[in-house]
Amino acid sequence: MKIRTLLNFVFGCHHSNLSRVFTIRRRTYRVCCDCGAEFDYSLDRMAINRQQARRPARVVEGVRQAVA
């Protein structure tokens, strides 16, 4: 598991290309435009919580498969 974490850090997405803040259905978040990971966003702190990244939405994965 440690090797997987290291490889993901070296070759994985660093989430440097984030979208604007969205609030949909009482959930506020930002999305990585490169990999589709979602990050909860706190309007009180005006910051994201990178420890709780969510997997890309199924819609995004479907679009990627259609394009490839």
Q: What is the pTM of this model?
A: 0.61
Region 39-59: what's the mean pLDDT?
72
Residue of 28 and 51 predicted with greater confidence: 28
Task: Specify the length of the chain in residues.
Answer: 68
Report the alpha-carbon distance of residue 29 to residue 47 in Å, rounded: 10
Name the pLDDT band for 53 (thresholds 50, 70, 90): low
3-state secondary structure of 12: coil
Amino acid type, 31: V
Question: Where are the domains positioned within the chain?
Answer: 15-67
